[in-house]
Amino acid sequence: MTTQPPLAIEATGLVKSFGETRAVDGVDLAVRSGTVYGVLGPNGAGKTTTIRMLATLLRPDEGSARVLGHDIVRDAETVRELVSLTGQLASVDEDLSGHENLVLLGLLLGLRRAAAKTRAGELLAAFGLSEAAGKLVKHYSGGMRRRLDIAASIVVTPQLMFLDEPTTGLDPRSRNQVWDIIRTLVAEGTTILLCTQYLDEADQLADRIAVIDRGTVIAEGTPAQLKASVGSGALHVRLLDPEQRPAAAQLLERDLGSVHLEPDPAGVSAPCSDADRAAEAVAELSRAGVRIGGFSLGQPSLDEVFLALTGRTAEEQTEDPAGDLHEEQAA
Amino acid sequence: MSTQTTHPQTTTPPAAAEEAAALRKALASTPRPPRATPRQAAMAFGWRGMLKVKHVPEQLLDVTITPVMFVLMFTYLFGGAIADSTGEYLNYILPGVLVMSILFTTVYSGIALNTDLTKGVVDRFRSLPIWRPAPLVGALLGDTVRYLIAGTVIVVLGVALGFRPDAGIGGVLAAMALVLVFAFGLSWVFTTLGLLLRSPSAVMNAGFMGIFPLTFLSNVFVEPETLPAGLKAFVDVNPISILSTASRGLMHGNADTSDILIVLATAAALTAIFAPLTTRLYRRA
Ligand SMILES: Nc1ncnc2c1ncn2[C@@H]1O[C@H](COP(=O)(O)OP(=O)(O)OP(=O)(O)O)[C@@H](O)[C@H]1O
Ligand SMILES: [Mg+2]
């Protein structure tokens, strides 16, 4: 035994194939207890399949994993007692009300009916869903559904939580609400494995990130390390007049080293993580008579991460984003 | 997708501060209760089934309108032709209609399960530390309540039309219980189908393709005396014939113990084979 803090998840060489597709092709993960671990990857990378194996819903073809010290195949029952899963498809019952959903889970987790009701009310209040408590979930908005979904995962506080793309499809406000919930959960000591397609989400929440692509981990580290390896952030400039883009690109290249012409004909960006230098470069553009519609200093997008790590963009290998899970359920 | 990924600072307006405090409190401490017993878990799923009926009461039309139509149709359309008087035929046919209506309803258990699987909620159920067959047993227990409603409608309507069970209410209840036990066993066949087939309509087709011939090649409607020998032999061993003979017997006070035992044994055998199969398939679905 080592003196290291215990690992909440320890996976080695996980493989899962569906027919010809090797959905997960040798994934190793090491997640410290009490941290948020981000799994970042484009559509079809194998995020959901990895989570489903770790949550004991799928049996790996090869490799092994221990979750909170228990083998996911041999001790699956014990693992299920300690973790909870918020799936990519809303894992709540659409034909019941929010309150009924939470009471049902309370009962299934061993609470008495009165306790289950109290807990349901408490969670609905905490998640801003009291008013919608009696409404059927199928009438909920996407953000409400997600919050209920997370509430359903913590009816009894899990030691480890799997969150599969908790903010995909949410508006910025709902997204922030979900992020706040996740931060609070972590502060209370829950370990979280978070799958996401958004680098900024992983950056905001995760202590460490694994980037996965075509079923394998292609990069791993803290958000800072990852961004550094990708070339940190970027200055994005929108021009009022696309005609001026060549001139702007030239200036930015001179000031910041290199430029990237965005798909938007009026957009141009350059790698830069230093706000002072970015401000200087923008001022420079302005002085040279380039008319600027707007600018921002942002982090590299998942696209840019992929470009840097694999030499191709995430979109080039995107597969049907919604279809796969349905197929899987019907099979 | 824009490449712009600036993120707004998470702001905390005053109203939200209260919410944040409530959130922290809700997340703080929940001692883990002892694991739900198999009975608790199955009952919780049964409750889920009932809630669905509560929210969509139209579901009950399936189980009430169809039997009502069967009773009326067989009594008035065929009753005169087959037996001498409506009342006499009703005494013969009503237990059979009860059997038929309830057995038809069992197909819906498979359809409902198949529909459930297309939703994400099944992943959550499967990731819970509960007795494995609980979601299935619970759903079937919930369905049993629907069968009970169907059965009650049929008997009440029958009595209004002139059905007179010789064994009285006790006999009717005993017959109903027997049919429910058999239906529970048969449901497992359809839940297995529900997990094997790809769509709810495929389950519906396959289910009725099986249950229709079995029902019509039974003694539900007519005594098989008039049938050709080969067919009669089949009708005689058809479990649905034995079930309707037994329930007719229970209602009229002349039941054969051996018939009842055969029905119970068949239900037990179906459960023993198909319940574990369904449970295995459900875990892997
Ligand atoms: N049950 C299944 N049967 C067949 N193929 C599957 C099944 N589940 C997943 N796949 C395939 O495995 C690959 C990885 O899928 P997975 O759902 O794990 O990706 P993901 O990273 O979660 O993607 P997304 O961002 O779209 O959710 C995809 O090519 C998908 O089509
Ligand atoms: Mg996924």
Confidence of residue B14 (pLDDT cuts 50, 70, 90): low
- Map tokens 């060489």 to a residue: A13
Question: Does the distance separating the beta carbons of A185 and B121 come in below 8 Å?
Answer: no
Whole-number pLDDT of residue A74: 92
Ligand 1 centroid to Cα of residue A80, in Å, is: 22
In a domain, A331, yes or no: no
Whole-number pLDDT of residue A38: 94
Residues A11 and A103 reside in one and the same domain = yes
Residues A249 and A172 reside in one and the same domain = no
Residues A217 and A285 reside in one and the same domain = no
Residues A215 and A240 reside in one and the same domain = no
For A176-208, letters b (16+ CB in 10 Å) and e give bbbbbbbbbbbebebbbbbbbbbbbbbbbbbeb
**What residues of B are in contact with residue A205 (Cβ under 8 Å)?**
none
Closest Cα to residue A172, out of A207, A201, A202, A203? A201
Whole-number pLDDT of residue A14: 94
What is the per-residue pLDDT across A157-190, written as a single tens digit (0 to 9) for each? 888 999 999 988 888 888 888 898 899 888 888 9
Ligand 2 centroid to Cα of residue A90, in Å, is: 12
Contact B27, A188 (CB under 8 A): yes
- Catalogue the E-assigned strands of A96-156: none
Residues A158 and A293 reside in one and the same domain = no
Confidence of residue B231 (pLDDT cuts 50, 70, 90): confident
Closest Cα to residue A76, out of A55, A94, A105? A55
Q: What CATH number did the domain enclosing A187 receive?
A: 3.40.50.300
Cα-trace Rg, chain B: 24
**What residues of A are in contact with residue B5 (Cβ under 8 Å)?**
198-200, 298-301
Mean pLDDT for the stretch of residues B45-55: 91
Mean pLDDT for the stretch of residues B165-188: 93
Residues A260 and A146 reside in one and the same domain = no
d(CA B186, CA B106): 7
Q: Among residues A222, A257, A272, which one ends one of the domains? A: A222
Tell me which of A49, A51, A194, A213 to substitute to probe ligand 1's pocket, judged by most ligand atoms within 8 Å of the beta carbon: A49
> Other C-beta atoms within 10 Å of B130: how many?
26
Determine the distance in angstroms separating the CA of A284 from the nearest CA of chain B, rounded to an integer.
Answer: 21
> Other C-beta atoms within 10 Å of B177: how many?
14
Residues A272 and A167 reside in one and the same domain = no
d(CA B38, CA B279): 14
Residue by residue, DSSP assigns B217-238 as TTTSSS-GGGS-HHHHHHHHH-
* Residue among B1, B41, B119 whose CB faces A108 most closely: B41
Q: Residue A254 burial by CB count (10 A; 0-12/13-18/19+): exposed, middle or buried? A: exposed
Q: Which ligand is nearest to the CA of A322?
A: 1
Residues A160 and A273 reside in one and the same domain = no
**What residues of A are in contact with residue B134 (Cβ under 8 Å)?**
108
Whole-number pLDDT of residue A114: 95
What is the per-residue pLDDT across A69-119, written as a single tens digit (0 to 9) for each? 999 999 998 999 899 999 888 789 999 999 999 999 999 999 999 999 999
What is the per-residue pLDDT across B52-88, written as a single tens digit (0 to 9) for each? 888 988 878 877 888 888 888 877 776 665 556 667 7
d(CA B93, CA B174): 17
Name the amino acid, one letter, at B220: V
Whole-number pLDDT of residue B77: 75
In a domain, A59, yes or no: yes
Q: Across A140-154, B15-29, B264-278, which has the greatest mean pLDDT?
A: B264-278
Instruction: Answer yes or no: is pLDDT of B21 > 90.
Output: no
For A144-171, letters b (16+ CB in 10 Å) and e give bbbbbbbbbbbbbbbbbbbbbbbbbebe
In a domain, A327, yes or no: no
Decide the pairing of beta strands A234-239 and A260-261. unpaired
Contact A132, A164 (CB under 8 A): no
**B17: which 2 tokens?**
């501060």
Whole-number pLDDT of residue A31: 94
> Other C-beta atoms within 10 Å of A302: how many?
24
Contact B232, B219 (CB under 8 A): no
Domain count, chain A: 2
Closest Cα to residue A229, out of A261, A271, A259? A271
Q: Whose CA is nearest to atom 8 of ligand 1?
A: A328
Residues A163 and A279 reside in one and the same domain = no
Tell me which of A15, A18, A59 to substitute to probe ligand 1's pocket, judged by most ligand atoms within 8 Å of the beta carbon: A18
Whole-number pLDDT of residue A189: 86
In a domain, A271, yes or no: yes
Residues A60 and A160 reside in one and the same domain = yes
Q: Across B27-36, B67-76, B116-125, which has the greatest mean pLDDT?
A: B116-125
In percent, how much of chain A has pLDDT > 70? 88
In a domain, A209, yes or no: yes
Atom of ligand 1 nearest to the CA of A49: 18
Q: What CATH number did the domain enclosing A252 receive?
A: 3.30.70.920
Question: Does the distance separating the beta carbons of A156 and B30 come in below 8 Å?
Answer: yes
* C-alpha dist (Å) from residue B57 to B63, B64, B161: 11, 11, 26
Atom of ligand 1 nearest to the CA of A324: 31
d(CA A290, CA A237): 11
d(CA A219, CA A214): 13
- Return the half-sphere exposure (C-beta side, CA atoms, 13 A cut-off) of residue B90: 21
In a domain, A97, yes or no: yes
- List Cβ neighbours of B131 (8 Å cut-off, separation of 6 or more): B36, B37, B38, B41, B42
Interface predicted TM-score (ipTM): 0.83
Which residue on chain A is closest to B32 by alpha carbon? Answer: A156
Q: Whose CA is nearest to atom 25 of ligand 1?
A: A43
pTM: 0.80
Whole-number pLDDT of residue A3: 53
* Residue among A119, A300, A329 whose CB faces B118 most closely: A329
Q: Among residues A165, A198, A222, which one ends one of the domains? A: A222
Low-confidence residues of chain A: pLDDT under 50: 1-2, 317-331
Mutation for testing the B interface, residue in A93, A186, A302 having most B CBs under 10 Å = A93
Closest Cα to residue B117, out of A73, A61, A91, A161? A91
Whole-number pLDDT of residue B201: 92
Task: Give long-range contacts, CB 8 A cutoff, 24+ apart: B242-245.
Answer: B242/B266, B243/B99, B243/B178, B243/B179, B243/B182, B244/B95, B244/B96, B244/B99, B244/B218, B244/B219, B244/B220, B245/B219
**A224: which 2 tokens?**
């800072």
Q: Which domain holds residue A246?
A: 232-299
**What residues of A are in contact with residue B128 (Cβ under 8 Å)?**
80, 105, 108-109
Which residue on chain B is closest to A295 by alpha carbon? Answer: B4
**What residues of A are in contact with residue B3 (Cβ under 8 Å)?**
234, 236, 262, 267, 269, 298, 301, 303-304
Pocket of ligand 1 (CB under 6 A): A 18, 21, 23, 41, 43-49, 88, 197, 319, 321, 324, 327-328, 331
In a domain, A69, yes or no: yes
Contact A315, A293 (CB under 8 A): no
Q: Whose CA is nearest to atom 12 of ligand 1?
A: A23
Question: Does the distance separating the beta carbons of B285 and A95 come in below 8 Å?
Answer: no
In a domain, A256, yes or no: yes
- Map tokens 């957009």 to a residue: A267
Question: Does the distance separating the beta carbons of A57 and B127 come in below 8 Å?
Answer: yes
Q: Among residues A159, A188, A222, which one ends one of the domains? A: A222
Residues A214 and A244 reside in one and the same domain = no
Residue by residue, DSSP assigns B35-91 as PPPHHHHHHHHHHHHHHHHHH-TTHHHHHHHHHHHHHHIIIIIIHHHHSSSHHHHHH
Residues A267 and A218 reside in one and the same domain = no
